[in-house]
Structure 1
Amino acid sequence: MGNSNSSSSDPHFASASRAFTQKELEDLKSLFVSLSAQSNADSSQYVSPSVFKACFGIDGRLGDRLFDLVSQKRNDQRLTFEDLVIAKGIYEKGTNVEIEEFIYQLLDVTADGFVSRSDVEVALSEMLVHIFSHEHGSNFHQHAVNIFLESAKFSGKEESLAESIMSFDDFKLWCSLIPSIKKYLGSLLIPSGSDFQVPDLVIPESIGNQSVLLQKEYAWHIGGALNQHDLEEWRLLYHSSFHGLSFNTFFGNISNYEGPTLLIVKDKEGYIYGGYASQAWEKHADFYGDMKSFLFQLYPKASIYRPTGANKNLQWCGVNFSSEDIPNGIGFGGRPNHFGFFISASFDQGHTFACTTFGSPSLSRSTRINPEVIECWAIVPKGNHQEKQEAAIKGTVLERFKEDRHMLNMVGLANSSE
């Protein structure tokens, strides 16, 4: 089949071929034969750009750039079987650095050798159109592009360009703050139908989609830090504008859910941010939780801050304690009275400080939080619907509130590291 045979003298093809099993190579060959037939190629020796982009579900300048990279930048509008094997060998079987370098080159949509701010803006716009199919319209897409751009760093300079450029190190930092970017760009060579899943946001009819803070673009951003099985359904448990700005109501609404949750706040400065709690909210006299928890920002910029391992001060849930050393409220990271993110039990104030737990800055304009809207969402894992969650409701007050057991952990609490 022309260039499709494995006896090619191209050392790059020979090396890439060794990364695949025989079955994988046969599947790639079958894919190539199908695409080349659709391309009306003579003797089925190449795939055209239009057929390639339709198969992998990406169009526009980002699609053009992907075709350019996969076809070895020959600019002949022809993709051979060797090209496909070599590109997939790097993209799917390469080292982490090789994969990141390939993805980084994708952002250079102008193909001038530099990743400029305008390159990234174009790529982001086309990504969101691809994922959301104009669901919110161009205005909200531009809003989402802006918050993702706001967290990007452009430290490089090039005299031939009028704007700064994103270095490879800038790119890696950006991907750590917005892991959904790397997830998306790292999945484009999977044929159309690949899973860029955005969770189904289940909202009570009385509240309505327009009233919630968590728009789907925000959910896609947060979901970049979660496993695929956690992206099936997110259920709104509490919304302060409808349930009242009340800690007791909040805690009552979430107490029957035993899984992970998202806590999101919009403060009176207009900033939107929150935390992912990997474990259920329970009354404790000390920090608890595991290393799956993280903090995030949604507006005016989007970022995710995972645990650094500096300490285990992850989740905090204080209820009806009388000691000043055990603040009442819910929070993440830092130390008591100096959290990375904290909402007091009065639900009318809180604070956010830079903390080493998550390597996060203050999440708002100032360290003091004055909440305007508070939301809490249940993360319902795949195959674990609400009926199963209700069957797992904790039985007794003694089981739910383990104060006596956790009070033993209070020794030295005031000296907990940040």
Structure 2
Amino acid sequence: MGNAQSPPNPRFATASRAFTQQELKDLRSLFASLAAQSRSDYKYVSLSTFQDYFGISGPLASRLFDLLTQKRNDGMLTYEDLVISKAVYEKGTLEEIEEFIYELCDVNGDGFLERCDIGAILDSINDTIFTPKKTQTSLNSSPISLKAFLNAAEFSKEAEGKSENNMSLVDFRNWCNLVPSAKKYLESLLIPPNTVRPGFQVPHMLFPKNLSPEAVALQKEHAWHIVGALTQMKAEQWKLVYHSSVNGLSFSTFMGNISSVEGPTILVIKDIDGYIYGGYASLPGRGIMIFMVT
């Protein structure tokens, strides 16, 4: 008698059709590399290898791994798992992708998207983007600013047995519209880290060395938040073209510096009471420039 063979997985066959042959070849190569690092005889990818490669950790990484492995709780990500999950997560319809990310954000896996879950998502963003362990320096994000992103979320769905409301899918969509960089981050978790990953970029802000970072009204987490609404081309390097502490309070200097800008501009104003507000002007040219008034 011949050896029994496992029947083909219909979900895998359907998912495979979402990719080109070259994309499937690349996925196979990626899986083989990660499986080798997992020392699994090329059979599966372990959670620790998955976390190290994609650069995410904590509850969000565990939840993503759980979804990718079809909630089997066996700690083994197979090649079929990878293809099936990426077909939905990256190749699915807008509704399928949103529903996948909505389920992903339920990091506790209890079926309820609560305030603590969104807090865990923001903690992951802070750890991954602003305080990455593999770099020598951090971007010094402000917990207060990140808390503002949490406070922007609405939790309108009542749940039996829960003392607090949870976030409905509509609430989640509205929050993603308010914090587009968070949505881009959540959509890009499986993009290889050596490529451009939307939601992971913080602009490099150029300003005079004699200007203290504390004097700059636009902080790193604000810039990351703004980038979510801009194209990737505008996310790399921003240059300070006006600051009252550097250029003085001359309105003619202010206008002169603005007129020399060949790209889009962001105006950030910090008033005497400490409130920060501003605007964005889309102008012809490459790159993006910053001017700040305090």
Task: Report the Cα distance in structure 2 between the residues aligned to 1:72 and 1:15, rounded to whole angstroms.
Answer: 16
What does residue range 2-151 of structure 1 map to in structure 2 within 5 Å?
9-41=8-40, 43-133=41-131, 135-137=138-140, 140-151=141-152
Instruction: State the aligned residue count.
Output: 275
Q: 1:162 offset after TM fit, Å?
A: 2.7
Aligned to 1:199: 203
Change (3 A) 1:262 1:178: same
What per-residue deviation string (whole Å, max 9, x for no partner) do you get for residues 218-248 of structure 1?
1000001111111111111111233334432
SS of corresponding position for 1:125:
helix
Q: 1:8 offset after TM fit, Å?
A: 5.9
Task: Report the Cα distance in structure 2 between the residues aligned to 1:267 and 1:259, rounded to whole angstroms.
Answer: 26
What per-residue deviation string (whole Å, max 9, x for no partner) do you get for residues 361-415 of structure 1?
xxxxxxxxxxxxx816xxxxxxxxxxxxxxxxxxxxxxxxxxxxxxxxxxxxxxx
What does residue range 251-290 of structure 1 map to in structure 2 within 5 Å?
251-279=255-283
Q: CA RMSD in A?
A: 1.9
Q: Which amino acid aligns with 1:151?
A: A
Seq. identity, %: 55
Change (3 A) 1:8 1:83: farther
SS of corresponding position for 2:89:
helix
CA contact (8 A) 1:107 1:119 kept: yes
Q: 1:151 offset after TM fit, Å?
A: 1.3
Q: Which amino acid aligns with 1:154?
A: F
Task: Report the Cα distance in structure 1 between the residues aligned to 2:271 and 2:171, rounded to whole angstroms.
Answer: 30
CA contact (8 A) 2:266 2:280 kept: yes
Q: 1:92 offset after TM fit, Å?
A: 1.2
Change (3 A) 1:142 1:249: same
Aligned to 1:168: 169
SS of corresponding position for 1:274:
strand
Q: Normalized against structure 1, the TM-score is what?
A: 0.63
Structure 2: 5+ residue runs without aligned partners?
133-137, 285-290
What per-residue deviation string (whole Å, max 9, x for no partner) do you get for residues 180-200 of structure 1?
011111000112234322111
What per-residue deviation string (whole Å, max 9, x for no partner) do you get for residues 142-186 of structure 1?
213211112111111213323221111111111111110111110
CA contact (8 A) 1:57 1:191 kept: no
Q: Which amino acid aligns with 1:13?
A: F
Aligned to 2:222: 218
Q: Normalized against structure 2, the TM-score is what?
A: 0.88
Higher-Rg member (1/2): 1
Q: 1:52 offset after TM fit, Å?
A: 1.0
Instruction: Identify the range of structure 1 (75-84 vs 141-150) with the bigger mean alpha-carbon deviation.
Output: 141-150
Q: 1:217 offset after TM fit, Å?
A: 0.7
Change (3 A) 1:207 1:141: closer
Q: Which amino acid aligns with 1:273?
A: Y
More helix by share: 2
CA contact (8 A) 1:264 1:375 kept: yes
SS of corresponding position for 1:156:
coil
Task: Report the Cα distance in structure 2 between the residues aligned to 1:123 and 1:149, rounded to whole angstroms.
Answer: 9
Q: 1:127 offset after TM fit, Å?
A: 1.1
What per-residue deviation string (whole Å, max 9, x for no partner) do you get for residues 282-335 of structure 1?
xxxxxxxxxxxxxxxxxxxxxxxxxxxxxxxxxxxxxxxxxxxxxxxxxxxxxx
CA contact (8 A) 1:157 1:164 kept: yes
Task: Report the Cα distance in structure 2 between the residues aligned to 1:8 and 1:141, rounded to whole angstroms.
Answer: 53
